[in-house]
Amino acid sequence: MKKIFFFTILFFILFVVANQSYGRSGKDTTKNTASGQLVPDADNAGLKLPNGFGAIVADTGLGAARHLAVTSKGDIYVKLEDLKDGKGIYYLHDADGDGKFEVKTGFGNYAGTGMAIRNGYLYASSNTDVYRYKLDANEKVSDTTPEKIITGLLARHEHESKSVVLDNDGNIYVNIGAYSNACQKQDRTKGSPAMNPCPILDSAGGIWQFKADKPNQTYGDGTRYATGLRNVVGLDWNTDINALFVMQHGRDQLHDLFPDMYDTKQSAELPAECMYQLKKGDNAGWPYIYYDQVQHKKIQAPEYGGDGKKEAGENAIDPVVAFPGHMAPNGLLFYEGNMFPEKYMHGAFIAFHGSWNRAPEPQKGFFVAFVPFKDGKPSGDWEIFADDFAGSNQIMSSNTAKHRPCGLAQGPDGSLYVSDDQGGTIYRIIYTGK
C-alpha cells in the first residue's frame, strides 16, 4: 500500500515537472527565451540593422500611423492620420509579453499627427487643435473625453500636421508649418515672385509655445518660440541639456523653379534637411535662406535674389546637423534608455519618411538614422541605423515604398519603437548582442 502511494506521488511529481518544462519550452518556440528576453522576428521585421540588433513587428494594420508615445508600463498610444474604424488614437497592449500587441482599442474621432505623454497626461493633436487626456494609475486613458488645450491653429493645405513635445517646466511646443514651399506669391509656380517680407511667418513657419495645462489657448495665448522653419514634423526635448531640437523639412524644387541655376542632381541633394537646436527667439531663416550642406553655408534663396552661391542669413542660426535633401525627417528621439550599447546613449535617432522631390534621381530616405551626442552636441557623423523599410534598394517613385518611418518612441526597457504611416506597422527594435 505504501509502495503504491509512493509511486502515485512520484508519478504526480514527474507529471508536474514534465508539464512545466514542456510549457517553458513551448514558450521558447514563441517569442520569449527561458530568461524572459524578447526574441526578434526571424527576418528582423524585414529591416537591416547593425550587428546585435533585432526587430519585431509589434503591430500591423494601423494605416497612417504617425507619432506614438509609450507609457511607463510599456503600452503604446499611436496617433493616426486617417481614422481607423472611426478612431484617431489607438491604445496597444502586449498582454503576454511576446512583443506583439494583442489588445487594441481606439478612441478620439479626429485624425492627426502629434502624440506625447508628460506628467500624467496623454497629448494628441489634430491639424488645428491640441487635446489632452488624463492617464489613470495604470497609465491608461479611462476617460476618453478630450480636454482641448490649444485651438484654431492654421492648417492651409500644405504642411498641416501639428507635432507636439513638452518640456519639464509645464510648456508644450507645437509646430505650425508654413503653407507654402518658398513663400512665392503663387506657390510652386515658376516665375512667381517671392513675398517680401514673407507674411506667412506671423502665424506659421515656426514653433509656438503654449502652457501644457491651460484649456482653449489660441495664438494670442502662445508665444512664437522660434521662426523661419518651413515645416517641422520630428521634434524632441533634450533632457540632457534641457533644450528643444527640431528637424526641418527643407524647401523643394530648386531645379523646377530655377532650371538655369540648379541642375536636377543639385536639386535632388539641396537644400539640407536640418537639425536645429532652438532657443526662444531663434530664426532658422526660411524662406530667405537655405542651408547648403555641400558648401557648408547659408545660401540666399533664389526667390530672394540668390544665385546658388551668395551667402545670406547673418541673423539665422546654423544647423546642428545637415542631412542630404528631401529625405523628410518625420521623427526625432534622444535615446536615454539602457538597452542599447554605450555608443547610443544620449544620441539622436531620426526617422526619415523618404523623399519624393529627388526625381528624376532615385528617391532617398526610408530609414532611421543615428547621430551620436555628447553633452548635447553631436560627437560624430550621422549614420543609417535601421534600413530597408521601403522593401527595395532603389525607389524611383515614392509611392512604391512599402513602409515609411514616421514616429519614434522609447520603451521603458529601452526598446526603440518606429511607426510607419504607409504600411501601418509598429516596429520594435531591440538589442540582443552582448
Piece of 96-104, 140-148, 251-259, 367-375 that binds another protein (CB under 8 A): 251-259
The residue within the footprint of another protein, chosen from 152, 360, 391, 433 (CB under 8 A), is: 360
Tell whether residue 145 is a contact of another protein (CB under 8 A).
Answer: no
Least separation in angstroms between residue 405's CB and another protein is: 14
Q: Which is nearer to another protein, 300 or 357 (CB)?
A: 357
The residue within the footprint of another protein, chosen from 71, 113, 419, 422 (CB under 8 A), is: 422
What sections of 260-310 are H helices per DSSP? 264-269
Q: Which is nearer to another protein, 171 or 363 (CB)?
A: 363
Q: How far is residue 30's CA from residue 23's CA, in Å, rounded to a whole number?
A: 11
Residues in the chain: 434
The residue within the footprint of another protein, chosen from 400, 413, 432, 433 (CB under 8 A), is: 400
The residue within the footprint of another protein, chosen from 105, 119, 218, 397 (CB under 8 A), is: 397
| Measured CA distances, 365 to 57, 331, 387, 401 (Å) | 20, 12, 9, 10
Q: Which is nearer to another protein, 290 or 385 (CB)?
A: 290
Q: Which is nearer to another protein, 238 or 357 (CB)?
A: 357
Least separation in angstroms between residue 185's CB and another protein is: 11
| Nearest in space to 162 (alpha carbons), one of 235, 99, 225 | 235
Q: Which is nearer to another protein, 211 or 402 (CB)?
A: 402
Tell whether residue 273 is a contact of another protein (CB under 8 A).
Answer: no
Q: How far is residue 49's CA from residue 197's CA, in Å, rounded to a whole number?
A: 46
Q: How far is residue 186's CA from residue 180's CA, in Å, rounded to a whole number?
A: 9
The residue within the footprint of another protein, chosen from 41, 59, 75, 81 (CB under 8 A), is: 81
Q: Which is nearer to another protein, 81 or 388 (CB)?
A: 81
Q: What mask of x and - would describe binding to another protein in positions 150 to 189, judged by CB under 8 A?
A: -------xxxx--------------------x----xxxx
Main-chain dihedrals φ then ψ at residue 185, nearest 5 degrees: -55, -45
Query: How many residues of this chain bind another protein (CB under 8 A)?
Result: 27
Determine whether 10 is exposed, middle or buried from the number of CB atoms within 10 Å of its CB (0-12, 13-18, 19+). exposed
Q: Which is nearer to another protein, 94 or 252 (CB)?
A: 252
Asked if 426 contacts 68 with a C-beta cutoff of 8 angstroms, the reply is yes
Q: What mask of x and - would describe binding to another protein in positions 252 to 271, judged by CB under 8 A?
A: xx--x---------------
Asked if 291 contacts 322 with a C-beta cutoff of 8 angstroms, the reply is yes
Q: Which is nearer to another protein, 401 or 408 (CB)?
A: 401
Q: Please state, as a whole number, how many other Cβ atoms lie within 10 Å of the Cβ of residue 114.
A: 27
- Strands across the sheet with 426-431, in order? 53-59, 426-431, 416-420, 405-410
Piece of 90-98, 295-303, 341-349, 398-406 that binds another protein (CB under 8 A): 398-406
The residue within the footprint of another protein, chosen from 396, 413, 432, 433 (CB under 8 A), is: 396
**DSSP letter for each residue of 177-234:** --SSSS-BSSTT-TTPPBPSS-GGGGTSSEEEEEESS-TTB-GGGSEEEEE--S-EEE
Chain residues in the site for another protein (CB under 8 A): 64, 81, 157-160, 181, 186-192, 252-253, 256, 356-357, 359-360, 396-400, 422
